[in-house]
Amino acid sequence: MILGKVIGNVVSTIKLPVYQGYKILIVQPVNDREESQGESVLALDTVQAGVGDTVLVIDEGNSSRLIMNNSTAPVRTMIVGIVDAIK
Amino acid sequence: MKLGKVIGNVVCTQKVESFQDIKLLLLQPLNEKLEEIGDPVVACDTVQAGINDIVFYEGGREAALGLKNWFNPSDLTIMGIVDQVNIGE
């Protein structure tokens, strides 16, 4: 899992049916001091995160398929938690 | 998932059987500000995207799962067409 900051969202009408009903957010990976690191990625949202939130992101397909309860979903990156504090 | 822009298509007659009837598109990867990053790549199309469309795509094992026949060697597949990208509040 990686830490990231939500910096925006993507609107898409035409997409694969498994993506239907999920919000797509743009996540900027951050380090432990919440400084930006590397390129941004798009992630499916499962926790109703919003812009500015620090979030927990999984970047691994099998975990995402488990969460979606769909063993064949072509989804890898997913937001699975909103971070309250990093100590 | 990453953002990209369709900049062309790739026509290929001789290809592996699992790629029959699959459209191949040339994609320019973009960042969140829709600025070009890196070199163009070739991706399989599942959503009938066209030239100049902004799309999002997935790589790795998930790229293969995006096509109808899962037993294929795709490593980049377009998953959807982007209508709008919003940055900030």
The answer to whether residue B34 sits within a structural domain is yes
Residue A3 phi/psi, 5-degree rounding, is: -95, 145
Nearest Cα residue in chain B from A42: B1
| CATH (residue range A2-82) | 2.40.50.220
Residue identified by tokens 């829709």 is: B34
The answer to whether residue B70 sits within a structural domain is yes
**pLDDT over 90 percentage in chain B:** 94
Give the mean model confidence (pLDDT) for residues B9-35.
94
pLDDT at residue B89, rounded to an integer: 67
The structural domain count of chain B equals 1
Mean pLDDT score of chain B: 94
Residue B40, pLDDT above cutoff 80: yes
For residue B59, the distance in angstroms to the closest alpha carbon of chain A comes to 9
**pLDDT over 70 percentage in chain B:** 99
pLDDT digits (tens, 9 = 90+) for A8-64: 999 999 999 999 999 999 999 999 999 999 999 999 999 999 999 999 999 999 999
Residue B63's nearest CA partner among B32, B22, B30 is B22
The answer to whether residue B89 sits within a structural domain is no
Residue A44's nearest CA partner among A32, A65, A35, A52 is A65
The answer to whether residue B39 sits within a structural domain is yes
Residue A70, pLDDT above cutoff 70: yes
Annotate chain A with DSSP letters as a single string: -EEEEEEEEEEEEEE-GGGTT-EEEEEEEB-TT--B-S--EEEEESS---TT-EEEEEE-HHHHHHHHT-TT----EEEEEE-----
Residue B77, pLDDT above cutoff 70: yes
Suggest the residue from A7, A11, A15 to mutate for an interface test with chain B (most B CBs closer than 10 A). A15
Tell me, yes or no, if B85 comes closer than 8 A to chain A by beta carbon: yes
Q: With an 8 Å Cβ cutoff, are A14 and B3 in contact?
A: no
Reported ipTM:
0.88
Residue B88, pLDDT above cutoff 90: no
Nearest-by-Cβ selection for A39 from B31, B61, B85: B31
Assign residue B58 the CATH number of its domain. 2.40.50.220
Tell me, yes or no, if B2 comes closer than 8 A to chain A by beta carbon: yes
